């Protein structure tokens, strides 16, 4: 059989980076011994032990010194099968079965043409499971995969693992994380994933959740068969909540696969009953693949009892202490151009609704985790991302309305903080959208209350890297970084437009380096992303640099918007300096006093292009560089390539960051 199961997982490095500083070690076996005590009764444990061959405090069917992993794996499969048979493996429309899958290829959805072969799996039939939806890759098994297992066990020899070197256990967490990531992806109602490491002597349980991972010490199951039995019975439980699944989802099963009709239930505090929304597809249309982070899932649904049309159900795990999205959306009700809230469910304090309900009491020191809480919202389903515009007018209408909505949201005391192309949506039916609804601002996950007067400085940084503002990126980890403000968000709006504009190209036109600039804007390296943006803001845009797809009016808009943002960034940079010492808060407050003028200027640029009335052009000229007190940048010095850099030679030599900006400008050839 053709296999790549022995290849190093191509996303293993991503998992290592994601789990860095997010792995919690339990220093004793107390938590391990407490797991599944309610789900697995003492009586059941005794019945299982009566069927196992125990002698001298040993499971005699497990070889003391296995000659090969294959010998050990076979013995473990037999013992596991005995435990599951006694505990009950079948029920109505459900079953659990231990399977040797070391020679079975499990297809990965996240990585094309990659599959892996877990040593042992617990195959399941039931509401939340389905046979694999294979893409047809050669050699992929269609009976067992990540979509229909309750858990996966890796078999090792005792000589391959230990507890005295933390790096060994962490390596196991990373390796098993490859499996956990796929289980989360292919079982979209998963809250946690628990997997086992098994040797001839020991068992280690690893749990993955939206706060990271936690692992137990190696436990000798010969000395403590009760804990081992509870692990196996718990991980193969018929009660899906024991396994870590969200039971508010209900599917119809046809030929082994999740099918329609299907529902998701929300608790209604008014009736103290459940409100059911009908899924339009068995799987979410959007699913984040990250192990940690928010674990966002989005589903298309309808409410059979209302005429609200197609709706969106969004699940996300939010850090404890952060204002949940539904709270911001509640304040945004009625704001034209902002996502509207129809329903929500807050899992705070609910069983299995918080990460801490799956974990032991948080110990200080190494591996402490941040609690996260599941939040569910229901909103109208809008159209596609602004990046899927069909005409120039559709693009500019959408961006104009989104900026207007951003101002209205700000007036309600809420700063969006995560402006990106994915968070600006076109209307579901473009031709019928009235002004103000041609571009919808969504996703208030990272929104914050406007409180600059109270907290003018903050180490918080939010947003999508590709469109994050220069000052916020440059100030990351700086002691005196200014709090994110509406000017940062306006800068993000500009990057959304600029990226779309320059992704269009004429034949052979991308030689000007703008493709690399767009890529560098999204770099995970703060410095690279910041320098790319500063370099772009430091040039003088001219019409000749634009793809011919865009009208002259649109080109003028982008050039003027570019000048406005460049002026704002220069003003802010003059105020905050290098952010390594206190700066004049009053000066930035004075800049914020021009808020109405700033929005008038930016929206005026769009009105100049979009409005058929000649009067729309009046009074806009002075706004192109920002507020009246913003001085025009010095013109380029001929010795530094005209239209390439706004700094004199002496300034460049005196400031290393400016040298880097100049180098970045030259590198991108913009």
| pLDDT at position 514 | 77
Between CA 339 and CA 379 the distance in angstroms is 7
Residues 6+ apart with CB under 8 A from 6: none
Tracing tokens 């990046």 back to the chain, one arrives at: 387
| pLDDT at position 453 | 72
Between CA 579 and CA 483 the distance in angstroms is 12
Is residue 207 left, alpha or beta, with left meaning phi > 0 and alpha meaning psi from -120 to 50?
A: beta
DSSP notation for 468-481:
--HHHHHTTT-TTP
| pLDDT at position 653 | 32
Give tens-digit pLDDT for 315-371.
999 999 999 999 999 999 999 999 999 999 999 999 899 999 999 876 554 556 889
DSSP notation for 201-243:
SEEEEEEEETTEEEEPPPEETTT-HHHHHHHHHHHT-SSHHHH
Q: Where are the domains of the chain?
A: 12-243, 248-381, 382-668
- Identify which of 454, 465, 388 has the alpha carbon closest to the alpha carbon of residue 427: 388
Overall CATH class of domain 382-668? mainly alpha
Residues 6+ apart with CB under 8 A from 558: 497, 498, 501, 541, 546, 550
| pLDDT at position 654 | 36
| pLDDT at position 658 | 47
Positions in the chain whose pLDDT score sits under 70: 1-8, 89-91, 134-141, 362-368, 430-431, 506-513, 612-670
Q: Is 289 exposed, middle or buried (0-12, 13-18, 19+ CB in 10 A)?
A: middle
| pLDDT at position 416 | 97
Query: Would you call 77 helix, strand, or coil by DSSP?
Result: helix
Between CA 193 and CA 177 the distance in angstroms is 10
> Which pTM does this prediction carry?
0.87
Give tens-digit pLDDT for 625-634.
333 333 333 3
Residues 6+ apart with CB under 8 A from 85: 51
Residues 262, 266, 270: CA angle, nearest 5 degrees? 140
| pLDDT at position 368 | 64
Beta bridge partners of 195: 206
Between CA 501 and CA 554 the distance in angstroms is 9
């Amino acid at each position: 059989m053709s296999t790549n199961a022995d290849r190093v997982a191509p996303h293993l490095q991503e998992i290592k980076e994601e789990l860095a500083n997010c792995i919690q070690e339990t220093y004793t076996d107390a938590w391990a011994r407490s797991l599944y005590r309610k789900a697995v009764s003492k009586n059941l444990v005794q019945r299982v032990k009566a069927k196992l061959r125990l002698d001298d405090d040993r499971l005699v069917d497990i070889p003391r010194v296995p000659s090969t992993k294959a010998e050990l794996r076979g013995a473990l499969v037999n013992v596991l099968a005995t435990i599951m048979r006694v505990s009950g493996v079948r029920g109505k429309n459900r079953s659990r079965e231990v399977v040797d899958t070391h020679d079975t290829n499990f297809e990965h959805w996240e990585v094309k043409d990659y599959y892996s072969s877990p040593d042992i799996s617990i195959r399941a039939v039931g509401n939340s499971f389905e046979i694999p939806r294979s893409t047809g890759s050669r050699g992929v098994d269609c009976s067992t995969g990540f979509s229909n297992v309750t858990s996966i066990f890796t078999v090792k020899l005792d000589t391959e693992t230990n507890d005295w070197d933390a790096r060994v256990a962490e390596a196991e967490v990373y390796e098993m994380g490859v499996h956990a990531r796929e289980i989360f992806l292919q079982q979209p109602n998963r809250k946690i994933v628990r997997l086992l490491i098994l040797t001839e002597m020991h068992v280690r349980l690893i749990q993955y959740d939206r706060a990271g991972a936690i692992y137990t010490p190696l436990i000798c199951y010969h000395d403590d068969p009760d804990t081992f039995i509870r692990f196996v019975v718990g991980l193969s439980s018929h009660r899906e909540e024991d396994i870590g699944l969200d039971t508010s989802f209900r599917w119809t099963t046809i030929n082994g696969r999740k099918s329609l009709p299907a529902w998701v239930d929300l608790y209604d505090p008014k009736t103290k009953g459940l409100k059911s929304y009908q899924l339009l597809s068995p799987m979410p249309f959007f699913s984040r693949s990250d192990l940690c982070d928010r674990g966002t899932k989005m589903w298309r649904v309808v409410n059979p009892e209302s005429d609200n049309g197609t709706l969106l159900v969004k699940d996300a795990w939010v850090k404890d202490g952060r204002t949940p999205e539904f709270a911001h959306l509640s304040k945004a009700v009625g704001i034209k151009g902002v996502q509207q809230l129809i329903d929500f469910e807050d899992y705070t304090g609910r069983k299995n609704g918080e990460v801490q309900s799956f974990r032991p009491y948080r110990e200080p020191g190494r591996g402490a985790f941040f609690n996260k809480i599941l939040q569910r919202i229901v909103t109208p389903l809008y159209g596609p991302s602004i990046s899927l515009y069909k005409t120039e007018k559709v693009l500019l209408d959408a961006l104009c309305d989104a900026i207007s909505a951003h101002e209205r949201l700000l007036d309600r005391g809420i700063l969006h903080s995560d402006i990106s192309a994915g968070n600006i949506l076109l209307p579901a039916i473009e031709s019928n959208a009235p002004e103000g609804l041609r571009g919808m601002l969504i996703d208030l996950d990272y929104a914050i209350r406007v409180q600059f007067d109270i907290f003018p400085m903050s180490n918080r940084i939010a947003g999508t890297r590709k469109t994050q503002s220069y000052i916020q990126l440059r100030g990351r980890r700086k002691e005196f970084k200014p709090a994110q403000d509406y000017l940062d968000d306006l800068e993000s709006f500009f990057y959304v437009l600029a990226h779309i504009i320059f992704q269009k190209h004429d034949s052979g036109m991308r030689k000007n380096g703008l493709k690399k600039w767009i890529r560098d804007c999204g770099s995970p390296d703060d410095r690279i992303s910041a320098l790319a943006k500063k370099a772009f803001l430091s040039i003088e845009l001219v019409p000749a640099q634009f793809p011919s797809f865009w009208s002259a009016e649109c080109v003028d808009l982008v050039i003027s918007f570019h000048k406005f943002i460049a002026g704002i960034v220069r003003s802010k940079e003059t105020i905050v300096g290098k952010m390594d010492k206190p700066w004049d808060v009053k000066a930035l407050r004075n800049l914020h006093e021009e808020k109405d003028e700033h929005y008038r200027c930016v929206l005026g640029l769009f009105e100049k292009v979009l409005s058929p009335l000649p009067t729309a052009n009046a009074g806009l000229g002075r706004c192109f560089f920002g507020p009246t007190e913003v001085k025009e940048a010095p013109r380029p010095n001929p010795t530094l390539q005209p239209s390439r850099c706004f700094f004199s030679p002496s300034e460049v030599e005196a400031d290393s960051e400016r040298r880097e900006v100049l180098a970045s400008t030259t590198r991108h050839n913009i």
